């Protein structure tokens, strides 16, 4: 049975760590917006935002159509992107689990942002000022919220598995 798990949250909160672990354990397709956008930029496009999401929506839809589990790893910053993911799941007739990852410890979040290293060739990570200045809008519906200041990646994956069992 296909399921779409969509992550959201500011850079540096731990989304990718949790999403990769979940995708590995589920045997799911892992769609990372940073990877898609970097590939587009490597082809000469300097300003990329919507294109990465559009590619990810299409890849998610095609994988859900063949019964795959899909994990989408993205900032998912606004109602427009969240609604688009909901539409992808609805059109595929697939359950949707939305996960917002936060880090309530501001000092820890900053430390993560300032010390992490890019794991995608050519990818330029945002600075702390860019992260806190980002237009990230509040969610307008229920979702699973995971605070990585209080929960490990293992604990987060267990919570997501529990939410998936509900579908």
Q: What is the pLDDT of residues 30-63, one digit of tens each?
A: 999 999 999 998 888 667 778 899 999 999 999 9
Buried b (16+ CB within 10 A) or exposed e, 34-45: bbbbbebbeeee
Kindly give the parts of the chain with pLDDT less than 70: 45-46
User: What pLDDT score does 122 carry?
Assistant: 87
User: What pLDDT score does 106 carry?
Assistant: 97
> H or E element: which one contains 132?
helix 128-132
User: What pLDDT score does 20 carry?
Assistant: 97
Q: What is the pTM of this model?
A: 0.94
User: What pLDDT score does 46 carry?
Assistant: 66
Domain coverage including residue 84: 3-165
Q: Identify the CATH number of the domain in which residue 42 sits.
A: 3.40.50.300
User: What pLDDT score does 43 carry?
Assistant: 85
State the Cα–Cα distance between residues 104 and 68, nearest whole angstrom: 33
User: What pLDDT score does 51 carry?
Assistant: 87
Task: Count how many domains the chain has.
Answer: 1
User: What pLDDT score does 41 carry?
Assistant: 87
């Amino acid at each position: 049975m296909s399921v779409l798990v969509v992550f959201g949250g500011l850079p540096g909160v731990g989304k990718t760590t949790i999403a990769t672990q979940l995708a590995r354990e589920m045997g799911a397709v892992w769609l990372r917006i940073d990877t898609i956008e970097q590939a587009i930029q490597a082809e000469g496009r300097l300003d990329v935002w919507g294109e990465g999401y559009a590619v990810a929506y299409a890849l998610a839809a095609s994988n859900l159509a063949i019964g795959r589990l899909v994990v989408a790893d993205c900032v998912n910053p606004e109602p427009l992107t969240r609604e688009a993911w909901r539409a992808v799941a609805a059109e595929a007739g697939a359950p949707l689990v939305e996960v917002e990852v936060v880090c309530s410890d501001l000092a820890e979040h900053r430390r993560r942002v300032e010390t992490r290293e890019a794991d995608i060739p050519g990818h330029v990570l945002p600075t702390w000022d860019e992260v806190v200045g980002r237009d990230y809008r509040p969610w307008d519906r229920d979702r699973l919220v995971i605070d990585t200041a209080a929960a490990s990646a293992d604990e987060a994956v267990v919570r997501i598995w529990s939410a998936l069992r509900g579908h």
